[in-house]
């Protein structure tokens, strides 16, 4: 005992616990102040992130709000719970992070490589270090051997469509067919694709909670052994994967020769094929689904553009796709972790190891400094003579060494599906079409947050 009075001792201990706890949760609250970086006043236990924690704003809305609040600043600071976060607004600084000094910002810092989720720990999006390098090379090999020829499946999926149609349901049928043709055997019924897609698109409370842990507290996600995909492959799924085009490409390629099999874990060819298929669904199918929904919505709302697409060449269609990507990017914020103490070139700003740096993609896409009348829909801005003023102010697929590997495949699928639909149908809004296309945070990405209905009027030739 420090004092003779028991009550006094308990009081002193409680005061010490409160003081130490307060010191712990507020340790970095002055981090941005002493670096002369604008930031909002943090609150103990919540930092400046209370808007997101209490569901008042999504992470995207919070980043966009801070971006707009300091229009003349290159950097804006925030505190997530107790850890400093930096928002980088300047395209030249973004270029430095994502490309020039990539070696200093090559990690996302999630440390999910020890997860029990075979799909997650073999997902290029989450991989770090040597494993990321090996996975990237392996997936490059897979992508280079894929052939996207889906005219027959497109015809079957679109056949019978007429009148007011749920766009997402139609596109699910279309993309199920396309990804089946790309990755599975011709005799497959494609159920593996549709089942995995449905799992990823779920938004139950449990799924939201697991996603929250995965992105905010990844160590807890690993500790509790959580998985996003079913942990045990069914015999039917194994059979589908064993005879799939994807498995053949993996066996013929150099993926395993590169040493990708994990230490102290048994990773069969089928398990790895399942993990790669999962990556195609989470980082390929789902973003394509949302992009195509946005493209069709934008075209239905802009009849002159729709008419011009039918009459123009591939360059104008690409401009249409790029404009929908600008307005509705699949990832609104790109994050990297600083790997060592770093000083930004031509700046006094020094940040420490493990500080997260955020690139506000959606906010930059809608900034009038880089785009004239940024809220308007104008595909012409992406034609050769009117391209964006700064290449790093347009980042729907990221940039630098970690730029999305599937960009070309995504663009090819988007062109093919859009052309096929416009060849057969005139798209129009209907009574059930929402006035605005809104997206919500879904994992690290963005997803259309409501059913989109459009009128499909068959074209007679």
Q: CA-based angle 47:70:85, to the nearest 5?
A: 35
Cα 316 to Cα 83, 307, 389, distances in angstroms: 45, 11, 19
Quickly list DSSP for 108-163. Answer: -----TT-S-HHHHT-TTT--HHHHHHHHHHHHHHHHT-----HHHHHHHHTT--E
Cβ 87 vs Cβ 81: under 8 Å: no
Question: Looking at the predicted structure, is the pLDDT value of residue 128 above 70?
Answer: yes
Any domain includes 297: yes
Any domain includes 17: no
Looking at residues 65-85, what average pLDDT do you find? 91
Any domain includes 273: yes
Any domain includes 449: yes
Residue 78's φ and ψ, nearest 5 degrees, are -150, 165
Beta-strand (E) ranges in 240-345? Answer: 334-337, 342-343
The band of 2, judged by pLDDT with boundaries at 50, 70 and 90, is: low
In the chain, how many domains are there?
A: 1
The band of 345, judged by pLDDT with boundaries at 50, 70 and 90, is: confident
Residue 263 is predicted with a pLDDT of: 45
Question: Looking at the predicted structure, is the pLDDT value of residue 303 above 50?
Answer: yes
Considering the chain, what is the average pLDDT of its residues?
87
Residue 281's φ and ψ, nearest 5 degrees, are -75, -50
Any domain includes 56: no
The band of 253, judged by pLDDT with boundaries at 50, 70 and 90, is: low
Give the pairing type, strands 356-359 and 83-88. Answer: parallel
* Residue 395 domain boundaries: 90-458
Cβ 324 vs Cβ 294: under 8 Å: yes
Residue 261 is predicted with a pLDDT of: 53
Q: Which of 293, 246, 297, 298 is nearest to 271 (CA)?
A: 246
Cβ 87 vs Cβ 67: under 8 Å: yes
Looking at residues 120-143, what average pLDDT do you find? 84
Other Cβ atoms closer than 10 A to 222 = 21
b/e burial code for range 104-128 (CB count within 10 A of at least 16 → b): bbbbbbbebbebebbbbbbbbbbbb
Dmax over CA atoms of the chain, in Å, equals 98
Residue 320 is predicted with a pLDDT of: 97
R_g of the chain, CA atoms, integer Å: 24
Any domain includes 369: yes
pLDDT in tens, 389-439: 788 999 999 999 999 999 999 999 999 999 999 999 999 999 999 999 999
Q: Which residues contact 224 (CB under 8 A, 6 or more apart)?
A: 213
Any domain includes 83: no
Any domain includes 307: yes
CATH number of domain containing 244: 1.10.630.10
Residue 268 is predicted with a pLDDT of: 73
The band of 385, judged by pLDDT with boundaries at 50, 70 and 90, is: low
């Amino acid at each position: 005992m420090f004092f003779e009075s028991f009550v006094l001792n308990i009081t002193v201990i409680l005061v010490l616990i409160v003081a130490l706890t307060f010191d712990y949760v507020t340790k970095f609250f002055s981090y941005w102040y002493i670096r002369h970086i604008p930031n909002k006043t943090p609150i103990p236990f919540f930092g400046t992130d209370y808007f997101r924690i209490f569901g008042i704003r999504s992470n995207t809305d919070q980043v966009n709000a801070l971006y707009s609040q300091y229009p003349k600043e290159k950097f804006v600071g925030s505190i997530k719970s107790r850890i400093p976060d930096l928002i980088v607004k300047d395209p030249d600084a973004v270029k430095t992070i994502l490309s020039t000094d990539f070696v200093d910002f090559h990690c996302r810092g999630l440390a999910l490589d020890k997860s029990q989720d075979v799909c997650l720990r073999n997902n290029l999006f989450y991989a770090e270090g040597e494993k990321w390098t090996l996975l990237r090379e392996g997936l490059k090999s897979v992508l280079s051997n894929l052939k996207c020829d889906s005219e027959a499946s497109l015809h079957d999926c679109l056949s019978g469509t007429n009148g007011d149609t749920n766009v997402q349901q139609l596109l699910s049928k279309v993309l199920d067919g396309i990804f089946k043709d790309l990755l599975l055997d011709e005799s497959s019924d494609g159920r593996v694709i549709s089942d995995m897609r449905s799992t990823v698109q779920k938004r139950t409370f449990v799924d939201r909670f697991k996603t929250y842990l995965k992105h905010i507290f990844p160590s807890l996600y690993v500790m509790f052994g959580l998985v996003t995909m079913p942990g045990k492959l069914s015999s039917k799924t194994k059979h589908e994967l064993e005879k799939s085009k994807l498995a053949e490409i993996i066996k013929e390629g150099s993926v395993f020769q590169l040493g990708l099999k994990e230490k102290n874990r048994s990773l069969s060819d089928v398990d790895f094929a399942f993990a790669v298929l999962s990556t195609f669904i989470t980082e390929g199918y789902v973003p394509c689904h949302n992009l195509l929904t946005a493209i069709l919505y934008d075209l239905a709302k802009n009849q002159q553009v729709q008419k011009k697409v039918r009459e123009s060449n591939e360059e104008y269609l690409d401009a249409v796709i790029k404009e929908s990507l600008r307005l509705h990017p699949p990832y609104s914020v790109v994050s990297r972790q600083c790997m060592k103490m770093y000083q930004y070139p031509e700046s006094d700003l020094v940040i420490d190891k493990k500080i997260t740096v955020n690139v506000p993609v959606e906010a930059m896409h809608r900034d009038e400094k880089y785009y004239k009348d940024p809220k308007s829909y104008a595909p012409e801005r992406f034609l050769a003579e009117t391209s964006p003023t700064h290449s790093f102010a347009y980042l729907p697929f990221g940039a630098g060494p970690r730029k999305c590997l599937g960009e070309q495949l995504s663009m090819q699928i988007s062109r093919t599906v859009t052309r096929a639909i416009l060849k057969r149908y005139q798209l129009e809004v209907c009574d059930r079409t929402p006035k605005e296309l809104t997206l919500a945070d879904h994992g690290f990405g963005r997803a259309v947050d409501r059913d989109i209905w459009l009128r499909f009027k068959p074209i007679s030739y």
